[in-house]
Structure 1
Amino acid sequence: MPETEFERQVRNLISKGYPGIAGLSDDEFRKQLEPLQERLPHLEYIEAGSPHSSIPFAIVIRNDWVDSEKAIQLVQRQGKSGFSVLDLDDINRFKPIEDIRLPSGSAYLIVDIDTGRETLNVTPNDAIQTITGQNRSPLTLEEGIALITHYPDVLMKNNGFSLLGSRGSDRRVTALWISGGKPKLGWCWAGNPHTWLGSASCRYRAGAESGGQA
């Protein structure tokens, strides 16, 4: 049930200390997320077993509440914490690409998520053409961290994923993969393929406001 999964994700964020980092009490944090829960009956996603996704949705907390450097450190996968090779200044250089319009507010949903198995060993430059050709949208840096915050086991040794929805002024793209058994936020060159690295995407984004879909 979507409501059960939404509650699991809210509890997960609270257990990791997200409300305190955002300067909110647990109850205030829940209150802020309630409008997203009201969107659940209206979400459109492909059920498990589709060629695209078995991950219906994930709650994304934007960096005005919890910055990405802190968020990756709060990721836990098989008892090991995530880490980043990028410092906060470098992370903040990566912004949503022009084609992505994020919902308003400090939290929103990404819907019908694919971790990019079809784009393993495909360069990010080519993968983004595949993704947009399927009427999907590449995940941003924040969205990738949100995904593994709620579903850490989707990050696998032979299936990390690039986050093509965020770019800086150079040829780098950020990516998530397993390094030393830990979730790692790093980067690769946009023109280089990797056998173990795909490119993650979602079908769309849903904000708290009615009709707030991107």
Structure 2
Amino acid sequence: MQPAPPETSAPPALPPLTAQAERLVGLGVVHPDAAVTPARLRAAVAALAATVGTVGTAPATDALLVLHPRVAPPSSLAPHLRLPAPGRAGAAGEERAGFVVEDMTDVDLFGPTEGVELPAADVYAVLAPRRGDELRGWSPEEAAPALAAGGRTPLTLAEGIHWALQTPAVLERNACYMTLASRLRRPDGRYDSRTPALWVSGGTGRDGRERRGAPKVGWCWWGNRHTWLGFASAAGRVAA
């Protein structure tokens, strides 16, 4: 295993669950015609906040609000991601929108891996998410058992996108993350070697120069190492 580069900065703290709900509404992820409406979301969060506060694994301010992928699949979430445009790429205040790479048209088919159980509720919380900077330079194959040994559960792709929706600065150059809990089952029952990840586009290749600095949903091979990608994980998941 390769040693990880030093951490560039600590990921930003998450706001309270009620503020996270309002951000999803403000971004347009949740709207009156969605499977989960603003009213339903606010009611669910009121109950969820009380539950999270009694779990004891993490304080309520260290919990990430998540919509189950059956009501908000990754393909619908990614376009709502935003990052400031690079200094020379656009006017002050300009932002880059998120996108899914062209060769991942099956992104919504990546389901939870063995041992990862999502709550049945449409709205739930991920407790104490961590970016996994200490595992940068490891391959997914190497990182998976290390997370399990530490009592952590890897994030799914949808959970990883929700984190970047709430705190965009969690994605920074040379410190982004993979989401090991989402993989694609092949017809023969084995996993596809692609492992979903989120990082900042360099604007090269098929991404296009206009996407330089944009939040990118892509993938890396299961056995490959990348010095800029950690492995996002959580202490657990809870629903009201």
**TM-score, with normalisation over the residues of structure 2?**
0.77
Q: 2:135 aligns with which of 104, 119, 134?
A: 119
Correspondence 1:188 to 2:199: no
**Which protein is richer in strand relative to its size?**
1
* Counterpart for residue 20 of structure 2: 9
Q: CA deviation at 1:5?
A: 1.4
Change (3 A) 1:15 1:159: same
* Counterpart for residue 150 of structure 2: 134
Runs of 4+ in 1 over 6 A off after TM superposition: none
Q: CA deviation at 1:161?
A: 0.7
Gaps of 5+ in 2: 1-12, 85-94, 186-191, 202-211
* Counterpart for residue 199 of structure 1: 231
Where do 1:72-83 residues align within 5 Å?
Answer: 72-78=78-84, 79-83=95-99
Partner amino acid, structure 2, of 1:5: P
Distance in 2 between residues matched to 1:100 and 1:44, nearest whole Å: 21
Gaps of 5+ in 1: 48-54, 209-214
Distance in 2 between residues matched to 1:174 and 1:3, nearest whole Å: 23
Q: Which has the larger radius of gyration?
A: 2
Change (3 A) 1:203 1:3: closer
Correspondence 1:60 to 2:66: yes
Distance in 1 between residues matched to 2:54 and 2:233, nearest whole Å: 20
Distance in 1 between residues matched to 2:44 and 2:23, nearest whole Å: 15
Which secondary structure state, in structure 1, belongs to the residue aligned with residue 148 of structure 2?
helix
Change (3 A) 1:43 1:88: farther
* Matched pairs, number: 200
Change (3 A) 1:104 1:123: same
Moved more, 69-78 or 108-117: 69-78
* Counterpart for residue 211 of structure 1: none
* Counterpart for residue 47 of structure 2: 35
Change (3 A) 1:112 1:23: closer
Change (3 A) 1:191 1:207: same
Q: Check conservation: 1:3, 1:40, Cα contact below 8 A.
A: no
Correspondence 1:85 to 2:101: yes
Q: CA deviation at 1:116?
A: 1.1
* Counterpart for residue 118 of structure 2: 102
Q: CA deviation at 1:125?
A: 0.3
Q: CA deviation at 1:187?
A: 0.3
Q: Check conservation: 2:180, 2:195, Cα contact below 8 A.
A: yes
Q: CA deviation at 1:198?
A: 1.1
Q: Check conservation: 1:166, 1:173, Cα contact below 8 A.
A: yes
Q: Check conservation: 2:112, 2:182, Cα contact below 8 A.
A: yes
Distance in 2 between residues matched to 1:133 and 1:75, nearest whole Å: 32
**TM-score, with normalisation over the residues of structure 1?**
0.86
* Counterpart for residue 88 of structure 2: none
* Counterpart for residue 173 of structure 2: 157
